[in-house]
Amino acid sequence: MKPGQIPLEERIIFALDFDSTEKAKQWVELLEHRVRFYKVGLQLFLAGWFHIVEWILNRGHKVMVDLKFFDVPETVKLAVRQLRNRGVTFATVHGNDPILRAAVEEKTDVKILAVTVLTSFGEEDMVAMFGRPCRVEDLVFSRAKRAIEIGCDGIVSSGLEAQRLRSQLGDKFLIVTPGIRPGKNIEIREDDQKRIVTARQAILNGADHVVVGRPISTATDPLAVVVSMQEEIRRVSAA
């Protein structure tokens, strides 16, 4: 599906980063007439297992299972196999070429997104990881290029890198962007994201979907934040 064909209600993937299925269900029920795509990460998946995934799907919505599979290739292959025929749209994998290749070989009906560099990482973290300076943008590009060549359906990267990925790697893959913050200033408690952009900038730079959690869940008026972000996305998509 080309970016212009993605329904506005599916552009924002709301991150259900909650510690219980009850909280997650309350948020889906609150947002579902505006948002039809939800992320189930480690915390919620461990709390609700596949039951919460199935509950969301049964309401007619899409699910991104964000477990960032990282293990020996055979284990990753078997993990991805568990997602077969469950109606999941996206699954995330975070690893080297053999790990990504194993996931791609087993993916069937689920799209595999390769995590490039977490949006909580900055340049100083690159030094800690590699023992020398390394530009985040270059590492993201290198990992994205290999992931696409291997056969991944898309990548997860910040909106800061999306423009280079689109201009140099084309439009035959998905870009899903976390680290989204509203255009209007809002206080996010315990914000661990470093490479952040607005929804407008992410889409303008080439992202297909934006993953948003705390800017919505901590807002005084969550639906107003959703509407505002969707309007940003609509204007960019229509331009």
- At 211, which amino acid appears? V
Catalytic residue (choose from 25, 68, 145, 194): 68
Which residues are CB-contacts of 75 (< 8 A; sequence separation ≥ 6)?
none
Tokens of 92: 């995330």
The closest alpha carbon to 64, from 72, 53, 73, 55, belongs to 53
How far, in Å, CA of 239 to CA of 235, rounded?
6
Which residues are registered as beta bridge partners of 212? 14
Instruction: Clarify whether 77 is annotated catalytic.
Output: no
Sequence-ordered strand ranges (E) for 5-118: 12-15, 37-41, 62-69, 90-93, 111-115
Which residues are CB-contacts of 163 (< 8 A; sequence separation ≥ 6)?
205, 206
Active-site amino acid positions: 68
